[in-house]
Chains A and B, each alone.
Chain A
């Protein structure tokens, strides 16, 4: 069965820490960081990167469009 692995890249300095991406992720990959970015926002990051399937749900609901999504298909 072909498996997929995904990964997201958050533009940390542009993330506003709104948290809208967190419930949008079917894999519960995303959390908000304890640390803050330059604007004082608790930015989003992949807490469980190995579970990301690259579905882009998080990115399409992000109001600020700061998430890029990558996906690869693994054979076997």
Chain B
């Protein structure tokens, strides 16, 4: 069978979501931000909720998310996305509201907003992209940087005696009664992508049923900041990030998952 006979509209089984704009992503080659954008928009497309969903972009590499996600978007001051999401959801309870935030944004400057929005059980989704550093500004140490992991502000590795321990904020917010669903995913292999998409679907379902906050973490690579090729960065992530940030559900249906 000839290539030309296969490439026909009726044989199409996968294409980029139509809810992404034609603008090429501003992300570095191989960066997980792109994959996560794609998955969120696939779910919004499949649920048919483009007209009634509002996303909130953070400060960080994904500050321009509103350029790529073709629906109503806002952009919050650094770390304040959950506060803005609170306002939007309370003013427009019938809309689906999500934030999209990096670890510097969510777990450093925005820690207060994150914790209090979760504790109030705001009926929103928080998508949290954890790449262990501040990507946009040049790979500085973040609260999520692993012990011993080098970053531009700790070139010899994070020394926990001086710099403190990394913050597992997903486990932390999962303790709060307001959080109904908390999970940690990744998008670097096909199997992980499929699981991550299910988690995103679940988060929208929770919001539909007005159950409280969904907190969906993605452990992702910042290959530029880690100074590795994209494929090597994903391998490094498996070897180093996942033992510290284990993948899987942390809280489902309001109950902590016992492992």
Contacts and interface: CB of A to CB of B under 8 A. Distances in A.
Q: Is the interface of A mostly helix, strand, loop or mixed?
A: mixed
Interface string B190-232: 1001100000000000000000000000000000000001110
A33 interface: no
B20 A65 contact: yes
B1 A18 contact: no
B16 A65 contact: yes
Interface size band for A: 20 to 34
Contact of A18 (B5, B12, B20, B30): B30
Interface residues of B, number: 36
Nearest to B5: A72
28 contacts: A7-B7, A14-B24, A18-B230, A18-B231, A19-B231, A20-B188, A20-B231, A24-B190, A49-B3, A54-B13, A59-B14, A60-B190, A60-B194, A61-B187, A61-B188, A61-B190, A63-B35, A63-B38, A64-B27, A65-B20, A65-B38, A66-B16, A69-B13, A70-B13, A71-B6, A72-B5, A72-B11, A74-B1
Interface of B: 1, 3, 5-8, 11-17, 20, 24-25, 27-35, 38, 187-190, 193-194, 229-231, 234
Interface of A: 5-7, 9, 14, 16-20, 22-24, 41, 49, 54-57, 59-72, 74
Q: Which 9 A-B pairs have the closest CB atoms?
A: A63-B34, A18-B30, A16-B29, A65-B16, A18-B29, A57-B190, A69-B14, A56-B14, A7-B6
